[in-house]
Structure formats: structure tokens, C-alpha cells
Amino acid sequence: MSLLELHKIQTTKSSWQDFVEYSIQTPFYTETKAKTQSLVEAIQLTLFHDYLSTFSPEEKSEFLSSPDAFQASAEKFVNILEGVRYSQEGYNQKERSLFLGMLKSLLKEHKADENGERKDLERYHFYRCIIRFCSDKEYIFRVYEKYKSYLSQGSGV
């Protein structure tokens, strides 16, 4: 294992942790959690909302009005992790192992204590949703449809 590979994985973990902490504090998440009465749905919608916020207003508008444009973007997003997930050229075995270990550690940190109680259900589900978001185009598209439906119901944020 190289220092570069280890740094790349640690940076990813740290970025995800920062992203989760940021997302939990957003007004959108607070509103969505109250409106949906579903922790997982609120997390999905918030992750999607935060993802869209990384685009320009024009791109965001295009994605929300054109499922085809959004799907093309989602495919590129999912392929960012192709090197550790799957690649026609093959993937870096060590980096993949480190990445999968990082995913397991994130989930384990928030999963269950010795009594089987969830330590932090909210963050646990955030990480589960991020993992799916980063690996499954169909999942992203289902959340996209939920998000559009949620907005049509009049999100105030």
C-alpha cells in the first residue's frame, strides 16, 4: 500500500464525514425530515439537494426538466469511483481493498453497540445512502424522481 493510496482513501472518508455533518445542519434537511416523517427519505432528498447545489443554476434547471440530461450526469458521477468499483481496464486491488475497508469502518462506527442498539442511526443512514448514491445509477434516478415530486409539493427551502 502506498502513502498516496492511503491518503486518497482517508481524504474520501474525511470528505464524506464533512459532507454528512454539513447536510445534517442544512435547513433543507430539517424541513424535509419534518415533512416526510421518514429519516431515510429525508436523507435521500437532502443528499440529492446537496448534489444539485454543486451545479450552476442553469445546469440544475436543465437536470430537473430533462431526465435524459440528468441521467447522463448521474452516469458520470457514478463512474468517478469506477477505479475502485469496476473498470474495464481493471481496478487497483489495494485501493479497492482500502476503499471497501473505509466503507465498512464508516458504517461500523455508527452501526450497533454491544447491546445491538444503534449508536447514531441518522449518520449510519447518511453513509448507507451515500454509498448507494455513489454506486447505483438506478438508485440516483429513483431519488431524482422523489426529489422532483417533493419539490412539486412546495418545499419552502
Separation between Cα atoms, residue 111 and residue 118, nearest integer Å: 5
DSSP 55: S
Separation between Cα atoms, residue 55 and residue 77, nearest integer Å: 12
Whole-number pLDDT of residue 17: 84
Domain boundaries, the chain: 3-151
User: At 146, is the secondary structure helix, strand, or coil?
Assistant: helix
Q: What are 74-97's pLDDT values in tens digits?
A: 887 776 655 555 555 655 566 666
Confidence of residue 9 (pLDDT cuts 50, 70, 90): low
Q: What are 35-75's pLDDT values in tens digits?
A: 999 999 999 999 999 989 989 999 999 999 999 999 988 88
Average pLDDT, the chain: 80
Q: Is residue 101's pLDDT more than 80?
A: no
Q: What are phi and psi of 112, to 5 degrees?
A: -120, 145
Q: What are 111-151's pLDDT values in tens digits?
A: 666 776 667 788 888 888 888 887 788 888 999 999 999 99
